[in-house]
Amino acid sequence: MQKQEIVKKLAFEAKASPGNINFALDKVAMIGLGGAGKLALVDLQKMEVATIVTTGKSTNTAYAHPGGEPVAIATNDGTDDWYSVIDLTNMKLIENIQAGGKGTHNVQWSADGRFAVGSDRLGDTVTLFRWNPTTKKVEKIDNVKVGFGTNGVQWTPYFCGVPFLTTDNVKSVKNAPAANAKGDCAN
């Protein structure tokens, strides 16, 4: 087992309440500053805060595109009803996208990065997003009612033999993970 060590401590104002952390592009750490309603973007090469972006009340963290696109979706776990889209190259807020309910809490991207789903914890919906590779933008598809208190979401993994599950193919899917987003089976 490798020994872990602290390489640097980052200081934030007391009311910032640093919380969850996620990483993107092996270059950026994204730290939710819930008490301040902001997102800290940390340059991992310099090991310092590059910028702090105002996002919304009780910012949880941000979830980076899994395919290496320089974009992330931040969640605002308080009473706000939007998701904040972050440009990870220029380290800035691109836009806020209206959610179906308040308390945006968790986002999961599909393995191929084409879609994302976010939970609206204080409402009864999830919000669906699409990554548009032509415009390089996150686009809202729709809000879907699922019941009150969607505290978290998990994207269904791809299964061997199909690129996605449907009611027609669910019984024929092999009980093994796919080798890629197309649903190819590993040897």
Instruction: Give the residue extent of every domain in the chain.
Output: 14-145, 156-187
pLDDT in tens, 84-102: 999 999 999 999 999 988 8
Query: Comparing C-alpha atoms, which of 183, 64, 179, 75 is closest to residue 131?
Result: 64
Distances in Å between the Cα of 56 and the Cα atoms of 89, 93, 97 are 21, 11, 12
Pick the CATH number of 14-145 from 3.30.450.20, 2.60.40.1730, 2.130.10.10, 3.90.1280.10: 2.130.10.10
- Span 160-181, pLDDT tens digits: 666 666 667 666 666 666 676 6
Structural element, H or E, at residue 32: strand 28-33
- Long-range contact list for 35-40, CB < 8 A, 24+ apart? 36/12, 37/76, 37/78, 39/74, 39/84, 39/86, 40/10, 40/12
Report the predicted TM-score, pTM, of the whole model to 2 decimal places: 0.81
- CA proximity to 97, closest of 116, 70, 124, 69: 116
Residue pLDDT, tens place only, 54-82: 998 899 899 999 888 999 999 988 788 99
